[in-house]
Amino acid sequence: MLFNSADFLIFFPIVTLMYFIIPAKAKNYWLLIASYFFYMCWNPKYIILLFTSTVITFISGLAIEFISGKEYDFKKEKTYKNLVVAASFTLNLGLLFYFKYINFALDIMSHILGAVGIHMTVPAFDIILPVGISFYTFQALSYTMDVYRGEIYAEKNFFRYALFVSFFPQLVAGPIERSKNLLKQLAVPKAYDYDNVRTGLLTMLWGYFIKLVIADRMAIIVDNVYADLENYHGMVLVVASLAFTIQIYCDFMGYSIIAKGAAKVLGMELMENFHMPYFADSIKDFWRRWHISLSSWLRDYLYIPLGGNRKGTARKYFNLLLTFFVSGLWHGANITFVVWGLFHGIIQVIEDIFRKVFGNVSEQITNKNLALLWKGINIVKTFIIANIGWVFFRSETIGQALWVLKNSLKLDNVKSFITGGGIYALGVNKVGLVVMITAFILLFVCSLIKEKKIAPIEWISSKNFIIRYAIYWTIVTLIVFSLDLNGQEFIYFQF
Amino acid sequence: MKKTKLNLLIKCILVMVPMWAMIAFIKLYPLAFTGRDSVIIYWNTNFINTHHKEDYKVLIMGDSVAATCFMPEYLSEDTINLSIAGSSMLDGYYTLKHYLKNNAAPTDIFVTYMDYHLQQDNIFWRASSLVGKYTFEDNKEIYDSIMATDADVSESINMDNFWEEAIQYVIGYPGKYMNAIVQAIEEGDRLEANKKLLKKIDLHSGRYCKMVNDIYDIANSNRVGYGEFFVTDLQDLYYTRFVELCAENDIRLHIVKTPSSYYTAYTEKYEKQIREYYAGLLGGYDNMEFVWYRDEYFVEWFWDNAHMNQHGSYQFTQRLKADYPEIFGNYAATPRQMETINADINIENELSYIFKWIDKSNYTVLLYNNLPPDEKINTLYQVYLHYNDQFLMPTDIPNLYYVTGDGAALSGINFAVDDKNINLQVGSDLTSISLASKYDITAVIIDNSNGTIVRTTHANYNFEEGSFHLMD
């Protein structure tokens, strides 16, 4: 069930209404039923995977706590706990590997064997990738780790825990929640709260705006160009790359905002998944702002356990590259994602070396205007690097990505593209262009407000009726003018 | 608590005002954005859901073949053509059902669906839903029927999304219409164009099809052969319902299979199957018939293998009039019908056919002959050959002749002659005939009932072919 489908527009009000009507004791059960139904709308069979992952991690939590309660010596206790964690990780990652990576792994293996002269026919498994498997697996594993580290107590109520893993607003595309945040909130059933519902609904409206008005419109340009790549070069490819940079951001952020809003209506607070990533002044900064729930997960459960930056420079860079390798692989079973991840890792290493050699340049600039200019240059630089990275992310093969990058430089058609109305040839009509430009202005203003640490919804709420409703109606009007574009799935569903 | 919930609800409604406004716009002003192809379906839906003061005695129903072949302007004033190109019997059933709900039953229905439309389950659902033709009740019946017959309607709709889509169409959800609305904004004059089209459909009593005199290009087409006739379960179910609806309302039903071109062939097996099917369908009803016009028409009367051009439609309509005199009879075209005939005249490209369109209706034709004197008689005779019993009559002006459809004397036309032109005035309409014309003949067709000059046209005589060709 997509957030931008009519099904969800029926499902969500019913679930919410019932949630507030039924007794407090039944609320979590109701949400659990709704969440499982939500998942089963996509493919009922695969609910078994979600349930299996839930059972494994739930038991692992209990087992770790059980071991802690026994009076084993430290070493033995640690060994037993490690065994439980290892079992939980092996089983969960095993499922993830089988359903997501088995064909990719076999393909790689066949290539490697082929390279050393061993040719064999590798059978392909006919497997449908379970939607959201990477998200809920990582969320469930974080629980095992949190119990292991003693950061939380093991959850004793299986149904509550099952709801934590399957909570429908963030089940299929995140944010990857931490047990410390969501599980605690689920322990206290929420009553109807006017402010929560109001803020949640407005947040959802904003999320729909970003997805339907911007992301889906950008998708038209991107899909048109990528469907017929060999006929384009120069400016068209640059525009398509920029469009995808915006599309992927608005598509994923749109989903995360709708998820956050839906949870807020139900009285839950989900973590922030994006914080104006294209205002980042370095790739390191970019990853503090982009898909925060995943990058923080990788930091906490992979990079730091690997030693982080505590074991020397070489090891730090190795850890960094490995983390970004995993990040790339997490996104999909394709070498393009791996290269995309490694590209970001390498850039971070280069940035770190640059910092080590030249020191922190921005701190050395004392002139305020120069500092601002330097920051601006860095923001543009980071945006361009991210943009290059997205070419790998969008392309089907490395060869295609390199072709796009190479042909993007043949900029002999800039004038003809601009004066000849090239954008219209990419599937955007005049009304669409007006809608797009208005939407960009709104998004930019909203991002600036957020960058100044002001919550946009609170800011709007503080204005008088006319300004407030002028903004609401502009947003709703732009959504209405984009409703014919719907049907575009969220990109991150495939991960 | 209650107050805050109510407040919230009111605010939700208020925030969504642009959405409600758009839904209202979609429901109230469909013509402002409806695409050209949907205007006929809009007209049809509007027509069947409206009570008409005048009773229509004859309904023509069916698909594009019915839309093409039956010309209400030559049948009778109380004939209406409710056929829609591309539609199926499922759609036809609801057309009749809604019409009967709002209007008195007609005495006769002529229905024609191409065999092809009965052999596949393209149900035309989306196109009709777009103009709000189906109610929830209709949709439920359609859904149940599709499920019961296990019909493959995948070309028309994904059944998993049937209700989602049906609800969106019934409430006028903007997502289904924004594409058309945006296109309409970009075009700028869609409302005016649609209103014009609507008038045209009104003028032709619902007949909306490709009205041309193009000729079927057999040189680049394969001969069409029919070997196996069958009807899908879904179409059969709706045909049966249609027949029952006619029976309940005591309507004489004529299922007509229209003539094909001689470039079409049917096997004996096919003919047997088709006759058996309709015999089974209509068995037990005395006032219903299946009529197959087995005549083979000239390919010159078709613009493709199935659809007649204007000349073919004229032939078939005349044939129908002759076969059903008790229904269509002999009648004089009303001024309204003559406006439709005027449209036919205006797209005609053969001089002789202009006289066919006019027939015995209240027209005057002025002919200015510019041929050498020795060719005059022959030329005018050639023209006259294609006409009825009226003779060309001379006017006061040399070389200018007239003839009237009903044989009446020349009246209501003012002449003024100067050095170069003959200037004619009919009501407020003016036209000139050049005395030094390069054309052999100049013809002026005047609609006496409506007091208008329908067309001024020129023709040259082709001595080799022995006929006239219109020049414009």
Given this model, what pLDDT does residue B1 score?
47
Lowest-pLDDT choice from A375-379, A381-385, B183-187, B220-224: B220-224
CB nearest to B175's CB, from A197, A469, A484: A484
Instruction: Show the CA angle centred on residue B355, arms to residues B353 and B361, nearest 5°.
Output: 130
A 10 A CB-CB count for B435 gives 18
Q: What gap in Å lies between CA B171 and CA B151, rounded to an integer?
A: 26
Q: Can you tell me the distance from the alpha carbon of B324 to that of B286, in angstroms, rounded to the nearest whole number?
A: 17
Q: Residues A22, A99: one domain?
A: yes
CB A491 within 8 A of CB A246: no
Of A127, A160, A192, which marks where a domain is finished?
A192
- Is A391 a domain residue? no
Q: Residue A312: which domain range?
A: 284-383
Q: Which residues contact A9 (CB under 8 A, 6 or more apart)?
A: none
DSSP assignment letter at B365: E
Yes or no, beta carbons of A481 and B11 under 8 Å apart: no
> Tokens standing for A355?
């910092």
Dihedral over Cα of A405, A411, A415, A420: its sign: negative
Q: Could you tell me if residue A5 is left (phi over 0), alpha (psi between -120 and 50 degrees) or otherwise beta?
A: beta
Q: For A17-23, what is the mean pLDDT?
A: 93
**B227-232 average pLDDT score:** 92
- pLDDT over 70 at B374, yes or no: no
Nearest to B186 among A431, A481, A486 (CB): A431
Contact state of B16 with A476 under an 8 Å Cβ cutoff? yes
Residues B10-25 have a mean pLDDT of 94
The two beta strands, B108-112 and B296-297, are unpaired
Determine, for residues A192 and B5 on separate chains, whether the beta-carbon distance falls below 8 Å: yes
Mean pLDDT of B72-98: 93
Listed in sequence order, the residues at least 6 apart from A293 whose beta carbon sits closer than 8 Å to its beta carbon are A174, A175, A176, A177, A271, A273
CA distance B19 to B22: 5
Q: Is the pLDDT of residue A492 over 70?
A: no
Do A299 and A361 belong to one domain? yes
Of the three residues A192, A224, A242, the one that is the final residue of a domain is A192
Beta bridge partners of B167: none
Structure token pair of residue A439? 């939407």
Element holding B80 (H helix, E strand)? strand B79-81
B45 near B127, Cβ under 8 Å? Answer: no
Question: Which of B10, B158, B178 to mutate to probe the A interface, most A CBs <10 Å?
Answer: B178
Phi, psi of A107 (to 5 degrees): -65, -45
Chain A nearest CA to B175, separation (Å): 4
Candidates A186, A178, A88; CA nearest to A142 is A178
Residues from chain B that touch A194, judged by Cβ atoms under 8 A, are 4-5, 7-8
Per-residue confidence (pLDDT) for residue A156, from 0 to 100: 92
Q: Residue A213: inside a domain, yes or no?
A: yes
DSSP code string of B339-352: HHHHHHHHT---HH
Tokens matching residue B240: 């049966």
> Is A344 designated active site?
no
- 3-state secondary structure at position A227: helix
Q: Residue range A236-253: average pLDDT?
A: 93
Residue A439 lies in a domain: yes
Q: B175, A473: Cβ pair inside 8 Å?
A: no
What residues of chain A lie within 8 A of the CB of B167, using their CB? 6
- Domain identity same for A291 and A360: yes
What tens digit of pLDDT does each residue of A147-191 get?
999 899 999 999 999 999 999 998 878 799 998 899 999 988 888
How remote is the C-alpha of A456 from its chain's centroid?
21
B8 closest CB neighbour out of A197, A205, A480: A197
Q: Does A440 contact B at CB distance below 8 Å?
A: no
**Crossing angle, helix B162-171 and helix B136-149, to 10 degrees?**
160
Burial grade of B409 (CB within 10 A; 0-12, 13-18, 19 or more):
exposed
**Residue A429 with chain B: CB contacts under 8 Å:** 182-183, 186
Are B164 and A6 an interchain contact pair (Cβ–Cβ within 8 Å)?
yes
Tokens, residue A325 = 């390798």
Residue A335's nearest CA partner among A387, A393, A390 is: A393
A438: left (phi over 0), alpha (psi -120 to 50) or beta: alpha
Residue A266 shares a structural domain with residue A290: no
Q: How do strand B414-417 and strand B421-426 relate by DSSP bridges?
A: antiparallel
A238 and A205: one domain? yes
Which residue in the set A6, A197, A483 is minimally distant from B174, CB to CB? A483
- How is chain A split among helix, strand and coil, in percent rounded to 5? 75, 0, 25
Say whether B15 and A482 touch across the interface (CB within 8 A): no
Could you give the angle at which helices A465-480 and A194-208 cross, rounded to 10 degrees? Answer: 40
Mean pLDDT value across chain A? 89
The reply to whether A67 and A134 lie within a common domain is yes
Tell me: do A15 and A54 sit in the same domain: yes
Q: Exposed, middle or buried by CB within 10 Å (0-12, 13-18, 19+), for B173?
A: buried
Backbone φ and ψ of B454, nearest 5°: -80, -45
C-beta atoms surrounding A170 within 10 Å: 29
Q: What is the mean pLDDT of residues B86-96?
A: 94
Does residue B167 surpass a pLDDT of 70? Answer: yes
> Is residue A59 domain-shared with residue A137, that is, in the same domain?
yes
* Angstroms from B129 CA to nearest CA on chain A: 16
| Strand-strand pairing, B58-62 and B108-112 | parallel
Q: Could you say which residues from 125 to 144 on chain A have a Cβ atom under 8 Å away from some Cβ of chain B?
A: none
pLDDT at A494: 62
Chain A: residue whose CA lies nearest to B17: A473
The whole-chain average pLDDT of chain B stands at 88
Structure tokens at A214: 């911007």
Confirm or reject contact between B188 and chain A (CB < 8 A). Answer: no
d(CA B9, CA A197): 11
Residue from B146, B82, B139, B142 nearest B110 by CA: B82
Task: Please tell me whether residues A54 and A185 are part of one structural domain.
Answer: yes
Signed CA dihedral, A479, A481, A486, A489: sign only = negative
Residue B362 has pLDDT above 80, yes or no: yes
Taking the C-alpha atoms of residue B205 and residue B83, their distance in angstroms, rounded to an integer, is 11
Give the C-alpha separation, B284 to B406, whole Å: 45
* The predicted structure's pLDDT at residue B31: 93
Looking at residue A445, its pLDDT comes to 87
User: Does A194 touch chain B if contact means CB atoms closer than 8 Å?
Assistant: yes
Nearest CA in chain A to B19: A480
- Residue-wise pLDDT for A413-471, tens only, equals 888 888 877 788 888 888 888 988 999 898 888 888 887 778 888 888 888 889 999 99
Query: Which chain B residues contact residue A261 at CB under 8 A?
Result: none
Q: Does A128 share its domain with A270?
A: no
pLDDT per residue as tens digits for the range A190-209 = 888 988 999 999 999 999 99
- Please say if the pLDDT value at position A17 is more than 80: yes
Domain with CATH 3.40.50.1110 in chain B: 2-323
In a domain, A399, yes or no: no
CA distances from A326 to A395, A454, B193, B202, B356 (A): 19, 34, 59, 68, 82
As a dihedral over the C-alpha atoms of residue A282, residue A287, residue A291, residue A292, rounded to 10 degrees, the angle is: -120
User: How big, in percent rounded to 5, are the helix, strand and coil portions of chain B?
Assistant: 45, 20, 35
> Which one has a higher pLDDT value, A487 or A466?
A466
Number of domains in chain A: 3
Pull the structure tokens for residue A234: 């120069």
What average pLDDT does range A294-315 have in this prediction? 90
Class of domain B2-323: alpha beta
Query: Hey, is the C-beta of A40 within 8 angstroms of any chain B C-beta?
Result: no
Question: Quick one: A76 and A174 in the same domain?
Answer: yes
Q: pLDDT (tens digit, 9 = 90+) per residue, B293-306?
A: 987 778 888 888 88
In tens, the pLDDT along A66-120 reads 998 887 788 888 899 999 999 999 999 999 988 888 888 888 888 888 888 887 7
- Closest-CA residue to B118 (of B44, B261, B226): B226
Q: What is the pLDDT of residue B295?
A: 76
Within 8 A of B173 by CB-CB distance, chain A residues are 6, 483
What are the pLDDT digits (tens) for A36-70? 999 998 888 889 999 999 999 999 999 999 998 88
Which of B19, B168, B178 faces A6 most closely, judged by CB atoms?
Answer: B168
The minimum CA-CA distance between A8 and chain B, rounded to whole Å, is 11
Convert the pLDDT of each residue in A141-158 to its tens digit. 999 999 999 899 999 999
Following DSSP, what letter does each residue of A24-37 receive, concatenated?
A: HHHHHHHHHHHHHH
Degrees to nearest 5, angle at CA B337 with B336 and B341: 125
Number of residues that make up chain B = 472
Report which of A198, A222, A247 is spatially closest to residue A472, judged by C-alpha positions. A198
pLDDT at A447: 84
Domain contains A70 = yes
A348 and A419 housed in the same domain = no
pLDDT, tens digit (0-9, with 9 covering 90-100), for B454-463: 999 888 877 7
Q: How far apart (Å, rounded) are the C-alpha atoms in residues B319 and A227?
A: 54
Alpha-carbon distance of B427 to B448, in angstroms, equals 10
Is the whole model's pTM more than 0.95, yes or no? no
CA distances (Å), B34 to each of A64, A480, B39, in order?
Answer: 65, 17, 7
Last residue of a domain, one of A171, A192, A213: A192
Which of the pair, A270 or B388, is modelled with greater confidence? A270
